[in-house]
Structure 1
Amino acid sequence: MAVCQHFHTTESLSDSLNASALPERNDQKLTCVELFAGCGGLAAGLQLAGFEHSCMVESNPVACETLRRNFRQSRSGSHPLVLEQDVRTIQWGDSGEVALLAGGPPCQPFSFGGLAEGKRDSRDMWPEAVRAVRELRPRAFLFENVRGLLRPSFAEYLDGIVNRLAYAGGQRGHKAPLYNVAVVLVDAADYGVSQRRHRVFIGGVRADCGTLRPFPAPTHSFRRLVWEKWVSGTYWHRHAISSPESHTPTRIEQSILRKLRDTGLEPQEGAWGTCRDAFAGLGEPMHGSNPLRHELRRGARQYPGHAGSPVDSPAKALKAGAHGVPGGENVLVDSDHSVRYFTVREAARLQGLPDSFIPSGSWSEAMRQLGNAVPVQLAEVAGRWIRSCID
């Protein structure tokens, strides 16, 4: 899927995140304040991109417990402050120099699974994001939300958000925008995440601090996955499946396969990740509790319009709402057509979190946190994008 971008411009994991499971980060650190931090998916990716969190704000007590549990101390020795607080009660005046303000304002006002009432929804926190930019005047900001924000019915509201962010922090009566702003629609699967997760990033760079560049191009594709499954066979070899004849291409895969065979050209990008890729080495879920939270949970079933995720495809977007916890999604469909719920560990892997990352709370609370998270790989790409603009 192509990256969709819109620009509004002027002229111009901590030690508790398994270091072996995460790429090496840049040495130079830039201070980050994060709003609506959730369980820390965005934070983990931004840390990989070289940002150092000084503060994480989250109002949900269980999510705050997850943050404290998994972001105890950064490699430079600093300790992120976790504020268990409603962001509306915070005054940002004395926060010091901030390189990046980040966060994912609640998506329910704009999501397909929410009430879609936009600014009429009491959970709409975009005004607080704008206020934080105005008071902190960071060198850059990066906000994430659902693609429902791009609905035509919200076009006027989105334009208002972009305009207020562009002028946030400027002097009264100042006519030129203070920030260059871009709105970018991406699919996480195009960047190495084993999940089809369409998300919107709204990124901004202060005009006196850098130049806003285009969002990085996709690095992975469905075409490559089809090639590895049905042309080279490397997908099945990788998983020690000796008889792919027992598996058949889907209708969409058959269409792409015909085109690949017609051209004979091998796609050079990476392959979309699948559930089987993400869960490699985990084994079957266990009965009872275990340290990895890879525990079998019974009772999964599918509903019309809410089917599960086939094991040899990228997962559908993890859900945090009624359909996902505990509805007909967040469900794995195995090659024998049996279904079961994702375990907490599987959901964490689908979000790019290492096995050392343990969410707090019950199964439903943990799944809700993970369903709201930004995939780590995608957050790192977005973080490196912003960092390249302000370096």
Structure 2
Amino acid sequence: MAPMVSKEQTFKVVEICAGAGGQGLGLEKAGFEHELAVEIDSYACQTLALNRQSWKIAQGDVADRSVWKPEIYAGVDLLAGGVPCPPFSIAGKQLGAGDERDLFAWAVQTAVEIRPRALLLENVRGLSMPRFAAYRQHVLDSLADAGYVGQWRLLQASDFGVPQLRPRFVLVALRDKDAPYFAWPEAQGDPGTVGDALRGLMEENGWEHADEWAQLASGIAPTIVGGSKKHGGADLGPTRAKRAWADMFVDGLGIANEAPAMKDPHPEEKKPKLTVEMVKRLQGWDPADKWELAGRKTAQYRQVGNAFPPPMAEAVGRAIHDALSQKEEKTDLGLLKVEHDGVYRALREADGYVSFEALRNRVKPALDPAKLEQHVANLSKDFHIDFIYPAQGGVEIRLGSFRAFTGQDDHERHAAFATRSARSRIS
């Protein structure tokens, strides 16, 4: 049964790349009712069906029109999702628009076409880096052209009661009439420690050292990873993360099937491993929600590792709910419009080709020639850039089309996803 929400107005949401329901549960608590949840992973779809029989669930590639037809949901209150992270991940190659798994641009274009009142997309911290400034600017400009005001914000899970260092880069966009009523949620206090969160689970089997372990696990968790299918089995991440876990007397080399036994050694002698249920707790799931996970241990862990923590989703969802309810005007519309990439903006607004010198003069503050060249080189990773070399010397450039997949019939994504091996790499 769904948890009780306030008696405020309920808004409708379509959730794409819904995963195991972390974002969906948070949005539900914030007052949103699911019209549809779309997800490609079969285990995640089973999880959603286990917990919310009332939700309509579509399984398959979210960009495949045989899976769902976006136009049916035109005008829905909220389009939300956590699109694949690898195109922007610091741990990956940061291919951005050149990665066939990139669905961020597609999701934005879908919003432009079906015109929800609000858009919520979340991704990894890598998308906030200078490498993707033009990508972000393109997204904001595309939304602005369609009558939306978009904002990016780097949020930290530990600010919302989740005992984990889990930064998420979040885009919220609202129509002009609703945007002044939106304000980002404020931090909600001390999240507690890993020991605080897991003491009860660690002593499930009567482990006699559970209290001592809880005192030793006195920090908050590093970012929980391992959700990607390329990782093989379930463990707590790369070497640096494992060191951080070891500092809290947790063995990060795998996931346990159950909590320590009564007579298991002291944690200073042998560090315990976490169970899936423990990791789920560190991702922000409230045990009162009784949220079940489908599949065996590795499948469950991947679902948890990919999740948007429910308390974060709830906090952002409530801020969007307040804006759609137009409760209280909070922000000057002009203050919401932030520029992320002046070079991209200058090229976008130019009439034809521009020399490097003219481009330097259009950008404030001006970049030195070497930095400008590097900036254009970065731009070319996400956009087609046209060059000409006039007879009088020098070079002139023009901004071409966006490389990202936005639904084009002839995009290389279709060929890449025609094989099972490519589909299996979706995270």
Report the TM-score, using the length of structure 2 for normalisation.
Answer: 0.62
1:336 alignment partner in structure 2: 268
- Does residue 66 in structure 1 map to residue 47 in structure 2? yes
Q: Given the alignment of the two structures, is residue 359 of structure 1 paired with residue 340 of structure 2, yes or no?
A: no
Partner in structure 2 of residue 82 of structure 1: 57
Q: 1:28 aligns with which of 9, 20, 43?
A: 9
From the superposition, tell whether residues 148 and 323 of structure 1 become closer, same or farther in structure 2 (CA, over 3 Å).
farther
Unaligned stretches of 5+ residues in structure 2: 207-215, 250-266, 326-427
In structure 1, C-alpha distance between the alignment counterparts of 2:174 and 2:51, rounded to whole Å: 29
Q: CA deviation at 1:312?
A: 1.4
**Residue 31 (structure 1) shift:** 0.3
Match of 1:131 among 98, 109, 122: 109
> 5+ unaligned residues in a row in structure 1: which ranges?
1-14, 73-78, 171-177, 221-270, 288-309
The residue matched to 1:86 in structure 2 has which SS?
Answer: coil
Runs of 4+ with >4 A deviation: 327-332
Quote the Cα distance in structure 2 between the aligned partners of 1:166 and 1:371: 33
Aligned-pair distance for 1:80?
Answer: 1.3
The residue type equivalent to 1:93 in the other structure is: E
What secondary structure does 2:183 align onto?
A: coil
Spell out, residue by residue over 1:231-289, the C-alpha distance to the aligned partner (whole angstroms, 9 max, x if none): xxxxxxxxxxxxxxxxxxxxxxxxxxxxxxxxxxxxxxxx23211222242234669xx
**What are the equivalent positions in structure 2 for 1:166-315 lying under 5 Å apart?**
166-167=144-145, 170=146, 178-220=147-189, 271-284=190-203, 311-315=217-221
Are the structure 2 counterparts of residues 166 and 280 from structure 1 closer, same or farther at C-alpha, using a change threshold of 3 Å? farther
SS in 2 for 1:149: helix
User: SS of the counterpart of 2:169?
Assistant: strand
In the other structure, the counterpart of 1:237 is none
Q: Tell me the SS of whatever aligns to 1:62.
A: helix
Pair 1:164–1:140, CA change in 2 (3 A): same
Q: What is the CA deviation profile of residues 196-223 of structure 1, one whole-angstrom value per residue up to 9, with x for unaligned ones?
A: 1111110011113452533122122xxx
CA contact (8 A) 1:66 1:359 kept: yes
Pairwise CA distance, 1:133: 0.3
Alpha-carbon deviation of 1:51?
Answer: 0.5
Change (3 A) 1:370 1:337: farther
| Matched residue type, 2:218 | D
Superposed displacement of residue 27, structure 1: 3.9
Q: Which amino acid aligns with 1:199?
A: R
Task: Read off the aligned partner of 2:99 and give its amino acid letter.
Answer: D
How does 1:364-375 map onto structure 2 within 5 Å? 364-375=298-309
Q: In 2, distance between residues paired with 1:340 and 1:111?
A: 29
Contact 2:74–2:116 (CA under 8 A) maintained in structure 1: no
* CA–CA distance in structure 1, aligned partners of residues 5 and 122 of structure 2: 24
Amino acid at match of 1:218: A
Q: C-alpha separation between the residues in 2 aligned to 1:87 and 1:278?
A: 35
SS state at 1:94 partner: helix
Aligned counterparts of 1:323 and 1:180: Cα–Cα separation in 2: 41
Give 1:100's aligned residue: 78
Q: How high is the TM-score relative to the length of structure 1?
A: 0.68
Change (3 A) 1:86 1:132: same
Match of residue 37 from structure 1:
18
Change (3 A) 1:350 1:200: same
Q: Deviations over 1:275-307 (max 9, x none)?
A: 1222242234669xxxxxxxxxxxxxxxxxxxx
Question: Larger C-alpha radius of gyration, 1 or 2?
Answer: 2
After TM superposition, give the deviation of residue 323 of structure 1 in Å. 9.7
Q: Which moved more, 1:380-389 or 1:210-219?
A: 210-219
Q: Secondary structure at the match of 1:87?
A: coil
Q: Which moved more, 1:347-356 or 1:54-63?
A: 347-356
Partner of 2:30: 49
Question: Structure 1 residue 363: deviation in Å?
Answer: 1.4
Q: 1:26 to 1:202 in 2, by over 3 A?
A: farther
Answer with 90-99 or 379-388: which moved more.
90-99
1:283–1:116 Cα change, 3 Å = same
How many pairs does the alignment contain? 285
Contact 1:42–1:376 (Cα < 8 Å) also in 2: yes
- C-alpha RMSD of the superposition: 2.3
Q: Distance in 2 between the 1:44 and 1:26 partners?
A: 17
Contact map agreement 1:195 1:273 (CA 8 A) in 2: no
Q: What's the CA shift for 1:342?
A: 2.0
CA distance in 2, matches of 1:215, 1:372: 23
- The superposition leaves residues 56-81 of structure 1 with CA deviations (integer Å, 9 ceiling, x where unpaired) of 00011111111111122xxxxxx211
Aligned match for 2:89, one of 98, 103, 111: 111
Counterparts of 2:121 and 2:144, CA distance in 1: 13
Q: Which AA in structure 1 matches 2:18? A: A
1:48 & 1:71 partners in 2: Cα distance?
A: 13
CA 1:104–1:163: 2 relative to 1, 3 Å? same
Counterpart residue type for residue 176 of structure 2: A
Any idea what SS the aligned residue of 1:57 has?
strand
